[in-house]
Every structure is written in structure tokens, then in C-alpha cells.
Amino acid sequence: MTHTADITRPPRHLVDGLLKIGAATASATLAHMGIRCAFMTGPVAWTRGRAVAGPALTLHCLPKREDLYGEGEYKDPEKQLHRHVLYHVQEGDIVVVDARGDMRSGIFGEMMMTYFKGRRGGGVVIDGCVRDWPNLRDLGVPLWVRGVTPNFHTQTDIMPVAVNVPIACGGVTVIPGDIIVADDDGAVCVPVALAAACIEKAHRDHGWEDFSREMLEQGGDLRRYYPLSDAARPEYEAWCAQRGRKP
Amino acid sequence: MTHTADITRPPRHLVDGLLKIGAATASATLAHMGIRCAFMTGPVAWTRGRAVAGPALTLHCLPKREDLYGEGEYKDPEKQLHRHVLYHVQEGDIVVVDARGDMRSGIFGEMMMTYFKGRRGGGVVIDGCVRDWPNLRDLGVPLWVRGVTPNFHTQTDIMPVAVNVPIACGGVTVIPGDIIVADDDGAVCVPVALAAACIEKAHRDHGWEDFSREMLEQGGDLRRYYPLSDAARPEYEAWCAQRGRKP
Amino acid sequence: MTHTADITRPPRHLVDGLLKIGAATASATLAHMGIRCAFMTGPVAWTRGRAVAGPALTLHCLPKREDLYGEGEYKDPEKQLHRHVLYHVQEGDIVVVDARGDMRSGIFGEMMMTYFKGRRGGGVVIDGCVRDWPNLRDLGVPLWVRGVTPNFHTQTDIMPVAVNVPIACGGVTVIPGDIIVADDDGAVCVPVALAAACIEKAHRDHGWEDFSREMLEQGGDLRRYYPLSDAARPEYEAWCAQRGRKP
Amino acid sequence: MTHTADITRPPRHLVDGLLKIGAATASATLAHMGIRCAFMTGPVAWTRGRAVAGPALTLHCLPKREDLYGEGEYKDPEKQLHRHVLYHVQEGDIVVVDARGDMRSGIFGEMMMTYFKGRRGGGVVIDGCVRDWPNLRDLGVPLWVRGVTPNFHTQTDIMPVAVNVPIACGGVTVIPGDIIVADDDGAVCVPVALAAACIEKAHRDHGWEDFSREMLEQGGDLRRYYPLSDAARPEYEAWCAQRGRKP
Amino acid sequence: MTHTADITRPPRHLVDGLLKIGAATASATLAHMGIRCAFMTGPVAWTRGRAVAGPALTLHCLPKREDLYGEGEYKDPEKQLHRHVLYHVQEGDIVVVDARGDMRSGIFGEMMMTYFKGRRGGGVVIDGCVRDWPNLRDLGVPLWVRGVTPNFHTQTDIMPVAVNVPIACGGVTVIPGDIIVADDDGAVCVPVALAAACIEKAHRDHGWEDFSREMLEQGGDLRRYYPLSDAARPEYEAWCAQRGRKP
Amino acid sequence: MTHTADITRPPRHLVDGLLKIGAATASATLAHMGIRCAFMTGPVAWTRGRAVAGPALTLHCLPKREDLYGEGEYKDPEKQLHRHVLYHVQEGDIVVVDARGDMRSGIFGEMMMTYFKGRRGGGVVIDGCVRDWPNLRDLGVPLWVRGVTPNFHTQTDIMPVAVNVPIACGGVTVIPGDIIVADDDGAVCVPVALAAACIEKAHRDHGWEDFSREMLEQGGDLRRYYPLSDAARPEYEAWCAQRGRKP
């Protein structure tokens, strides 16, 4: 029987903290911490307006080789590893798939995503496609993909080969258990060991943004308010005091 | 005077049958019948939510050669073959264009598509672009294209050279008269000689999907219900009997 | 202190005239005037339904070189030239950025675009991305871009190097002060010296289109009405007379 | 039985005249005559140092469709159209193949090229690959290709569908019977109707090049000698007189 | 201490048998056995004229992540897995590297390849580059690569992460211990379980090629001799008898 | 009259020092100094076996716009900026051209390169092509290009717009006067301000390589000799002493 490893899930407060700062701030903050690009280029927000964070379950695909994976879609399904990554799904988990950028393989379809939703998965990021979009749309599972296709997962050029191993997705290495933050800007992989520092630094660096936005909307000078200049800091501190906020 | 061939249209019940099963099931079923990829990669559903099926009229483009096609847009229009493919349009026909993936040539614009709609064409699939999208949008012609452009069809690098000949569109060979099935998953070309067998096989393979979806929604086990296991088959047959359906 | 040049803005009636004819007619008319492709391939209408015209302010990026631009996002911001192009913005100006097609650099984010809106800029065209889309969406600045990203402008591979110099954007050369026309078909660069002739020629060539559209909607013959045949010209002139229009 | 059309071959003096001026001058001269790019981008000189000119026999490939071309390499070979294009070869003919830029299909191998050589073919231009290069190298057939591969012609994604029809090769339209000029700069397609004018204009425009080269080698001023300035023309005419050449 | 697995090497006669049939015949024969494309697209014969066969040692790279692999080239070299794959090299082994098609990372340089040669390795196949080519050229190690670069292996975008695991190289899945056959046509991966059958079938299918080549060279008819027709078989058998060969 | 700026040339010993360390060591050393990738990806060594170093003269191209550059090749040649960059050439200078990766424009041909050679230029690096290769080959000018073409520089899509301004070439920013180091590994841009430090660091880091190579050739352990381990350092120092070298 096929057995695949589960992951170690990060503490809830790290996931919540990253969801709150969002993909843009997470990516920028990691850049200032030495991770040049944590953003996965390729998968885009297919279900506009959704924002999620959660630990990564991973699925690795390789080019199809007919002596290893020649059978049809439904023959001995327990050997099909794209099913196994779903068996591990717990509430809020994000499934991340290295589908090699393939535009002719739909990794998951309506049935699989119905099951995923039933297990309360958080979202799916694929460097590739899903299928059954006419039906998937109504299901409401948050998706970051390159596109959609009518083809099924092993119909053309790829096959799943491993679950919960390190993968590349959209040019970024994802280690199982890393925290994915995804919204309309795209999907970012936060290395789990850097999550706490990232949240803390993000708050320190961007605490003044609400104040600055308000000033710019009122016609304030970009040089003074973005980034917050030393000259404007007392003004900001007064603004905070007024609102009972910590600068 | 320019003369181009018409096509032989398939019987209506084949077109209707394929429309009902949709692009995803058509593509998957053809794969199990030996046609590895009937899906055209490149053109995407530009008018979301539309689903069509119909026989293919085809238009072939080649790289522009100024000694063959140097004239302006409106000079001797009867020589412009993109017009001729429209002259053949009957109700429900799908025009399929090999525009070579070109992103700087808009094969049809508002005027042409107004004429196409007046002839009750079914839809248009282009491995390339249309133009006049600000006006086309309201017209409501179902479109599968790579994108839009303000340029007209021979403005930059391509020119139409033949109507109703075999073409390549999105990596798939389309023979005039083949049946195109297109929805939000994309556009699929069903070889007309395989259409009947494809419909029949699709029904046989996927009849249990409504039942399985219901079970998965109620928290059913993926292993038991998708694909339908032998263990669950009696359950499915009972479900059918209750509804007066044929398993 | 960093100093960058301003542009010479074209007369208002040229901008208004081009806005009225739209991107498709502007591009086609320029083609008939000898400019083969004035359309920028790559940036697409990200804020559907918007149409703008205005003079181009330009920003040029080059590949990042760490000895020239290694510092963080907020260190010595006055040296960051993407800010300076915004300092020049007057009502209706279009900022055009050669971001080298990079998908991992968000040239502007919410704060910059809030400032741009405050200065009543007309729109932004980038051969690349913006960031902060979850917030930008509500701001309503018209955008033609390749996509969105959570990364900031110099996070990965590029850096701004010059303001209001000739640039390439989407395969088209843009001279500062040229007029950009952008709508759902995409963005077109009209060389300012050709603007008046382009408007005049567009009216002459397409004056009959309203008439022809009406005829095609009523089932008229494409050969007769598009383009307007000599045979149908009297009919058109009568149609004009009836409406008090100049043919 | 499969029947394919032969071509009309151009007069020998046109072929010889073009061979003499070479690919660079042919392409540049055609550009000045209105054919912007007669050069096929993609195929490169694989057998360095060879130069050929001759009429084009053409072979058109489309994406493979298993219901049309599923059989093995050697089953019913008379249906394989890549053989038929070779049946037409006469001395000096150039076979041009639209292999769709495919890097995984070797259109011809050692056996086919041995036969081609036996018929004294002039050369082969493929927007794709050949196979059996370890053996082909010694055979000495002049080749312009994208590369080599061990795969045979229908092994992966394409199939031949027509012989001696208009094709696209490397972004250029080739009409059967057009004259191909190919050397280490690449392969150029000269429309047969323009061949005589192209040769005549090339001689007129470049007759002074031998003189100018000599001057530049001796340290002459680029401004004076390239292109030949009016000031230097008497000098050139004297140089011609000395050699009994017609200026 | 880093430990990586060794591979199981196939029997010598399989390796020798495949070397003798070469890449083109191996790839074609596998295609007829159901493996559509065993050819790695991307790496090309960089050291022309070399032909090798041997078991695959594999090296897997992922996109660089600075928190996992930020150190310099020479810091703690024992953690650098591209060294470890070389530690396993035995006479005739082929090192196959999934370098993700990266053109800016030179996986091995002169020093590493000197060591590889010292261990009598058979050759190296990389979906990417080597560095130090000015020195490597004289070393004479057979190489199939995409190109060369002055950069070292982790200088830009990738890092090695695993040794002797299944990888993708040039679009083909390679299992450690599979047999690589590489010559001027490129590199082919023969699944080890299919090697014996591939050799046997290749001999059966192509035994007549020497005879046919001789006939074609003497002006024989392609239809009669390639592939060998039934009509010509007695002739072939006589040819064999004369030479004491088994048909 | 067209006037373009000259450059400031670096001291000769910097150029000589960089030539001696070569492209691979220059690129690696700069990486350890913070310049992640100084290597230009795209142009490759077209004249194998040549190695050069010299200050960069630069030429910038933009997409062609017919209203700015519609004239023929030889009309008013003094306005053609690709000529002007050559007017600045002094002995050993390297001309670097941002030709936008275009494969259909040959920036320089035989005549221009004859003039360049006459001025004793060091070499040419183009992110694009040259033309007249059949003649250029014998001229012997060292070239790093993407390929060759028969087309001339403004025949298709680009035009030169500026001389000796900062450019991007192969993904690297080149400032006029920076030192280019190019050999069979490719071309590297060394920022002039870092040149002295780069040479000095290269010697410090790689002084032991000659010793290590000798050891590896004699079957030495990779772990001990590459990089040089502390254990082997006394051995290296003895080796140096014997040869009168400074360790």
C-alpha cells in the first residue's frame, strides 16, 4: 500500500500573523531579511478576492514515462499520488503542486476539489492548471494557478511522483510545512523558521502606513509621508496617541 | 473571383451530444480512445460562462509576404480570405483560425463579428487575437482567443491564405468539419469520425458522477466514491433505481 | 539633489481627438500612415472598461547592478527614480514604464498610486507589474500592465535609471510627450507629430462605420457595407442627409 | 496511390545569379525592394562553409493526430509524405520543411539523405531537426536546421501532411518554386518573380564594394568609402578603368 | 556528515549493447515499445564526435533559497551536493544533472571535471551549463550541455539538493541506474528494465540497414530498399549468405 | 552634425590584470564581492579560442519606429549611430551592443568590421547578431554574439538610438568605460571601480589552483585539494617554496 509522509504544522499564531500582513508585505519583508524572491512567478489568483495562509503540503510531478505511468485515469487509483496529497489535508492546509508549468494537464478537477473542500482545505497553488473550471467556479476553493484545461492530470506530459518532499513551484523552493501566504498579488512561500521574525519586522517597518495613506489622500507630500520622514514622525506619534495606537 | 470550399456538416445529434458532455469529458474520453491531446493550448475562454459545440470552418494564416499581400485593409476586400470564411457560416458553425499565436494581429473586429452574429454563428476560436474588444464585448459572440489587440488582421506579421483546409490551432490539427466543443475549460477538437463513439463512451464511463458528487459532498470517502469502487456499486444502483435512472 | 526633465505637453484638442477615436482606430490609421505597429504588446487592460489618452512621462529600467543600487527600499528615497517620474505628473498624464517585461518587480504599489491619483494622473502603462493589487483595485487608477506581484520595484532583477528619456515599452519606442491612447484593446503610442494627421485621416476613413453597422445588424451584405462599397455610397449619403450629418 | 505535385523550376541563370550574390546581399536587396524579411529565422548553417541556391520543394507538417497518423515508422511507407518530397528531387533542388520548430522530431535521417544525395539534391532547410547526425556528417549534404535529435520524424508531436504547397519556414512564407539562397549567414527565400530584379539591383548597389574593402583595409575613412561617397566616385572609376571593370 | 546513496549498476553487456546501437536507434526502438520520447531535449553534444553509454548517477537542483544555501563557494564544501555525486563515480558512469535549464550556473568546472576524469567517468549530461570551458576543452570529458558560462554552480538561481533520486532532465524522467546513451544526436535515457528488449528489437528491426545503405548508394529505389520491401528480401538474404551474416 | 561622447579609458594594468584571470574567475570573484551576475547571458563565443579584455564602448538600440528611422541603409549614413560607435574605437576597445536579443538584425557586416579591425579594436559583444559571416570569419575579429543573419541592422525591428550611454546587454547593465572580459566561457562586465579589488581578490583566492590541479591529476582526494584544505596547506607551501612562488 502506498504510504506518504505527513507534515509538521506551524503554530496557529504564525499562520494568522502572516495572513494579516498579506503577500506584498511578506515578500518585501523577507527580501529585507535576505530572501530575494519568495514569490512564486507563474500561478496567479484565479479566484479573485480570496486571501489565505497555511502550511504547505507538496506534490512533485516529473515528465511522464510510459513504463512507469502508462495506465488510464481510473486504474488502481490508490497509486495516483495526487490523491494522496489530499488525504493529508487538514483545516487550512495549502496544497502546493510543482506541475512544471504544464498548460495541458489539469491536476485536480471538480471531484477532487469537492473532497478537498469537504476536508476544509485552505487553498491550492499549482504551477500548472486545474480542470472542470465550469464546475469548480461555483465550489469556491481558493486557487492560484496558471490556467485551466479540459485535460486530466496524466493525460499528456507529466505524472505525480512524490508527496511532501521539497519542490520548486513558480521558481521558488517550497519545503513541506513552510507557510504559504496568497492573495490577489499572488502566492508567497515563507520559510517556517523565518515566520516569526518576518511578522515582527513587518509590523516594525510598516506600522506608520495607515497614517501615511491618510496624509497622501489629503494631498500630502510624498517626500514627507512615504516613507515616513523623520520630520513627520512627531506628527505620526501624535496621530497614534490620539487613536490609542502604539507607534 | 475568389472561390473557397464549404464543409460537410455532421448530424445534429452528434453536435448536441458533445455539447452536453462538455470539453473536459470530451478531452478525457478521447484520451482513453487514443487521441492524446484534443485540447487546443493557447486560446482561452474570453467570454466567460459560454459553452458551444459545432462544426469547424477553418482559416489558415502564414507569415506576411509583402509581394503577396502588401495592400491596405480595404483595397480589393474580396481577396481577403478572412472574409470568405465568414461567408460560409451557417447557424452554429465554429470558425477556427490558425493565427500562429500572433499577439499583434486582430483577426476579426466589431464589423466582422456583427456580420457573424447576424448569420447566427456559434463561436470563434483563434490561436491569436481579436480587435475592437470595447465594442465586441457587448455583441456577445462566444470567443476563445489568446487576447485582444487594437491592430487589424494583416497589420503586422501574418496574412490569411486558405479557407477550409486542415490547420493547426493551439497545437491540435483541425480538419474542416470536425466538431469543436468549447467552454470555460477551453476548446477541444473532436475528430468527426470519433464523435459517436466518444459520446457513447463518455456516458458509460461517467454515468455515476452525479451520485459520487452527492456522496463526497456528504463527506464520503474518496477511495470509495471516486472513481466508483465495486464496493459502492450496489449503493449506486439503488440510488439510480430510486430516481428511475439507468445505471 | 536629483533633477529630472519635464516634458512638453501636446495641445488638449489632440489628446481629446485621440481619446475619441480609440486605440483600434488609432493603431490602424497609423499603420496606413507608415507606422507598422504602434501597439504595445505585453501590457493588457488590467482595469477593464477604462479608456484614457494623455502625454507620456517615461521611466527607464535596466538590469539591477548591486554596486549601483544595492540599498533597501526606503534608504535615501530621493535617489529612487520611480518616485521622480511621479513628481512630474499633471492632470491626465500617462506614466509609461519600460520594466523589461519583468514579472517579479512591482513598479508601483498602493502608496505611490494614491499619490498619483491625488495628482489626477490619467493612467499607467507598464511592461511589467504593479504590486498591492488587493488595495490598488479599489483606488481606481486605470492600469495597463502584464500582471501583479507582491514584490517591490527593485526587489529582484531591475532598477530605474532614467526619467523622461526615449524608452521601449512592449516592443514600441515611446518618446516623452508622445500621446498614449489606451482602452480595453490595449495601449497605443501616437507620435506627437503625427497626431493631428491621424485624427483627421481616421475621421475620413471611418465616418461611414455607424451607417454600416446599422445595415449589418439588419442582415446587410458584408460585401456591400464593409467596407462601404461605391454602390452603397448614395444610400449612405441619404442616411447622412436624413440625420443632418456630414458624409 | 499517393500523388503529389511537382514544381515549376526557374531558369538556371536566376539560380546562378543569386548564388553569386549570396544570402546577405539577397536579403538586403529584397528589403530595399519592399520585402522586409526574406530570411528564415531559426534554421542555421549546420554544415559550415557550404553555399547553395536552388528552387524550393516544400513539405508541410501539422501537429500529430493519432487517428490520422498513429502507425509505426515503417508501416505503409508510401503514405509518409516526407518520402514523397524526396521523390521530386532533381539536381540542385532545395527541400524546405515546415517542421514547426519542433526539437524532438528528426525529419530526415541517414537513409533518406543518402537517397537525396544520390539524386544530387542541392540542400535541405528545416525549421526543425534531422537525425542520425553521427552518420549524416560524413555524407556531406548541405543542411540548414535548428538542431539534431535521435528521434524520427513522427515520433513525438508532428506529422507531414502536404508536399509542394505554400508553407511557413522560420517565419517566412515559401511558395514552391521560389529560389532559396543559403550560406553561413542562413537561408533566404527569394520570390521567383522578384529574382531577376533582385540580381540586377544587387549588382548596381554593390558593385563598388571590392574597391571600398581595399580602401578600408589600407586605413581609408569609413565616411568616404562605405557607402561609396560622391567624392570618392572618381577614384573608384579610375580603379575600375585600371582593371578593365565596368563601374 | 552528508551521506548519499549509490546506485545499482546494470550488467556490462546491456551498456555495451546500447552503445553499439546508438542514440537514434535506441530512441526509435523505445518509441515502438511505447516510450514516446526518451530523448532529452536541451542538452546537446558539446564535445562533437564522442559516443558513450553508462548508468546514470543523478543530481537534482532546486531554485536557490538564501536561508538554505547562502554561503560562498568554498565554505563547508562537504555540504555541496554536486561534489557528492562525483564521489560515487565509477568507470563509465554518466552523471546526469537537472539544472533546470539555467544558463547562468556552471554546474562543474575544470577542477571537478579533472577529478571526474581521474575516476574514469564516462560522461556528463546537464540540462544547463558547465564553466571553465577554455580549460575543459583540453580535458576531453564527453559533455552534453545547453552551453557554457563563467558563473559557478550556485552563483545565481539554483542549488543542488539531492543525489541519486529520480529527476527530470531535458523533459525526460531519469531513474538512477537507468542507462544513458549519448552521441552527436543527443542523449537518450533507456529505462534499465527495457534495455535488453530494446537491444534485441533494434537488431531485429535494423539488421538490413547495411545492405540497404549499399543499395541506395548505388542508386537503388527508396521504395524497394528503405524500409526493406518483401520484394527485396531474397536479395538481402543472398547478400547476407555471401557475407556469412545472419539475416 | 551628429556628435556622440567618448569614454574614459581605465589604466592599462587593470585591463591586463583582468585578461589574465579570465571570465570565469572574474565572474566568480565579483559574486563574492556582491555583484551576483556580471555575466551577459545570450551572446556566446562565436570565434572560439579568442580571449580579450578592454573598456566598453556602448551602442543602444530601441524598437524601430518608421517616423524616426524609415530611410534606407545608405541614405544619410552619418545619422546611423552604429557607425558612430566605431568612430570612437581605439586599440583594444570592446564595442558592446544592446540589440534586444533580436535574431533578424545584423548590427555589423564585413565592411564595418574591416574598419573596426583597421582601428585595432579588441572585440565586439552583441546581444543579437552580425551579418556577412562567410566573409567575417576570415577577418578574425573576436565576436561574442547570439548568432548570424543575412539581414542588415535596421532591416526589421530595431534601430540604434544612442552611443556611450548605460545599456543592458544579456541581462547585465554596462556603463561606458566598464571593463569587459570575454573568452570561450562568455563575456563578463567588470564595473571599473571594482576592477582593482577584483584582481587582487582573485589572486588571493585562487593562487593554489595550479598546485591542486596537479594533485588531482595524480589522483589526489577532492576533499583535500579542492578547495585547498587546511591540512594540505603546508604541502602547498612546500610546493611553492620549491618553485620560488609566493603562496
The three grid cell numbers given for residue B2, joined into one nine-digit string: 475568389
Q: Which residue of F has its CA nearest to C173?
A: F63
Show the low-confidence residues of chain C (pLDDT under 70).
1, 70-75
Q: How many helices (H) and strands (E) does chain D have?
A: 9, 12
Mean pLDDT for the stretch of residues B31-51 = 95
Establish whether chain C is in contact with chain F, requiring a minimum of 3 CB pairs below 8 angstroms: yes
The three grid cell numbers given for residue A3, joined into one nine-digit string: 504510504
- Calpha distance A60→F160 (Å, rounded): 46
- In the numeric block, the cell 506534490 is attached to A59
pLDDT tops 60 at residue F194 = yes
Q: Which residues contact F120 (CB under 8 A, 6 or more apart)?
A: F89, F90, F91, F92
The three grid cell numbers given for residue D205, joined into one nine-digit string: 548597389
Answer positive or negative: Cα dihedral of B82, B83, B88, B91.
positive
pLDDT in the model for residue C73: 52
Q: How confident is the model at residue A216 (pLDDT cuts 50, 70, 90)?
A: confident
- Calpha distance F120→E16 (Å, rounded): 53
pLDDT in the model for residue F77: 78
Sort residue E186 into left (φ over 0), alpha (ψ -120 to 50) or beta.
left
* Cα-to-chain-centroid distance, residue A30: 15
pLDDT one-digit tens code per residue, A185-196: 999 999 999 999
pLDDT tops 60 at residue A72 = no
* Contact of E166 with E174, CB cutoff 8 Å: yes
- Calpha distance E192→E204 (Å, rounded): 20
Q: Which residues contact C61 (CB under 8 A, 6 or more apart)?
A: C97, C98, C99, C100, C102, C105, C107, C128, C158, C159, C160, C161
pLDDT one-digit tens code per residue, A138-154: 999 999 999 999 999 99
pLDDT in the model for residue D68: 87
pLDDT in the model for residue C74: 59
- Calpha distance F160→F79 (Å, rounded): 10
* Closest CB to C26 among B78, B114, B150: B150
B138 to chain C: which residues are within 8 Å by CB?
Answer: none
- Calpha distance A154→A21 (Å, rounded): 37
- Calpha distance F243→D189 (Å, rounded): 63
C116 to chain A: which residues are within 8 Å by CB?
Answer: none
* Closest CB to C24 among B86, B118, B132: B132
- Calpha distance B66→F37 (Å, rounded): 43
- Calpha distance E222→E228 (Å, rounded): 9
Question: Residue B140 gets which letter from DSSP?
Answer: -
CB-CB neighbours of C224 under 10 Å: 15
- Calpha distance D106→A56 (Å, rounded): 42
- Calpha distance C146→C127 (Å, rounded): 6
Distances in Å between the alpha carbon of D38 and those of A182, B62, D50, D170, F134? 48, 14, 19, 10, 18
ipTM of the complex: 0.91
* Closest CB to F77 among D31, D184, D227: D227
For chain A, strand residue ranges (E) read 44-45, 52-63, 94-98, 123-126, 129-130, 143-145, 147-148, 158-163, 167-169, 172-174, 179-183, 186-190
Mean pLDDT for the stretch of residues E203-221 = 86
- Interchain CB distance below 8 Å, B193 and D167: no
Mean pLDDT for the stretch of residues B164-169 = 96
| Percent of chain B clearing pLDDT 70 (strictly above) | 97
- Calpha distance C73→C80 (Å, rounded): 9
Mean pLDDT for the stretch of residues D163-172 = 96
pLDDT tops 60 at residue E72 = no
What is the rounded radius of gyration, in angstroms, for the C-alpha atoms of chain F? 21
Quote the Cα angle for E27-E29-E30, to 5°.
Answer: 65
HEC per residue, F52-63: EEEEEEEEEEEE
A25 to chain C: which residues are within 8 Å by CB?
Answer: 150
Interchain CB contacts (distance < 8 Å): D and F = 89
- Interchain CB distance below 8 Å, C37 and B156: yes
pLDDT in the model for residue E70: 62
pLDDT tops 60 at residue F73 = no
pLDDT in the model for residue F2: 80
- Calpha distance C62→C97 (Å, rounded): 11
pLDDT in the model for residue C72: 56
Mean pLDDT for the stretch of residues B224-228 = 90
B27 to chain A: which residues are within 8 Å by CB?
Answer: 149-152, 155
Q: Which residues contact C12 (CB under 8 A, 6 or more apart)?
A: none
pLDDT tops 90 at residue D245 = no
pLDDT in the model for residue A218: 80
pLDDT one-digit tens code per residue, C193-214: 999 999 999 988 888 888 988 8
Alpha helices in chain E (DSSP H): 12-32, 66-69, 81-87, 110-118, 133-139, 195-206, 209-217, 222-225, 233-243
Residue (of B11, B196, B178, B13) closest to B96 by Cα position: B178
- In the numeric block, the cell 520594466 is attached to C99
- Calpha distance A118→A120 (Å, rounded): 5
Beta bridge partners of A125: A96, A144
Residue D131 is which amino acid? R
- Calpha distance F145→F123 (Å, rounded): 11
- In the numeric block, the cell 545492405 is attached to E211
The mean of the pLDDT values for chain F is 93
Helix (H) / strand (E) containing C223: helix C222-225
Q: Which residue of B has its CA nearest to D189?
A: B65
The three grid cell numbers given for residue B158, joined into one nine-digit string: 501574418
Beta bridge partners of C98: C60
The mean of the pLDDT values for chain A is 93
Mean pLDDT for the stretch of residues E154-168 = 95
Q: How confident is the model at residue B74 (pLDDT cuts 50, 70, 90)?
A: low
The three grid cell numbers given for residue D189, joined into one nine-digit string: 527565400
pLDDT one-digit tens code per residue, B174-196: 999 999 999 999 999 999 999 99
- Interchain CB distance below 8 Å, C131 and A185: yes
Q: How confident is the model at residue F26 (pLDDT cuts 50, 70, 90)?
A: very high
Question: Residue C107 gets which letter from DSSP?
Answer: S
Mean pLDDT for the stretch of residues A173-180 = 98
- In the numeric block, the cell 521539497 is attached to A166
pLDDT one-digit tens code per residue, B126-136: 999 999 999 99
What phi and psi, each to the nearest 5 degrees, are found at residue E181?
-120, 125
CB burial class (10 A; 0-12, 13-18, 19+) of residue A203? middle
C73 to chain A: which residues are within 8 Å by CB?
Answer: 28, 32, 227
What phi and psi, each to the nearest 5 degrees, are found at residue D246?
-85, 125
Residue B159 is which amino acid? M
- Min Cα distance A65 → chain B (Å) is 14
Establish whether chain D is in contact with chain B, requiring a minimum of 3 CB pairs below 8 angstroms: yes
- Interchain CB distance below 8 Å, E161 and A161: no
SS3 state at E85: helix
pTM reported for the whole predicted model: 0.93
pLDDT tops 90 at residue D73 = no
- Calpha distance D148→A129 (Å, rounded): 32
pLDDT tops 80 at residue D34 = yes
- Min Cα distance D130 → chain F (Å) is 20
CB burial class (10 A; 0-12, 13-18, 19+) of residue D236? buried
CB burial class (10 A; 0-12, 13-18, 19+) of residue C87? middle
B79 vs F150, more confident: F150
* Contact of F121 with F93, CB cutoff 8 Å: yes
* Cα-to-chain-centroid distance, residue E165: 16
Q: Which of E226, E229, E230, E233 is the best substitution to test chain D (most D C-beta atoms within 10 A)?
A: E226
DSSP-assigned states of every residue in A119-155: TT--EEEESSEES-HHHHHHH---EEESEE-SSBTTS
pLDDT in the model for residue E42: 96
Strand bridging mode E94-98 / E52-63? parallel
pLDDT one-digit tens code per residue, B88-131: 999 999 999 999 999 999 999 999 999 999 999 999 999 999 99
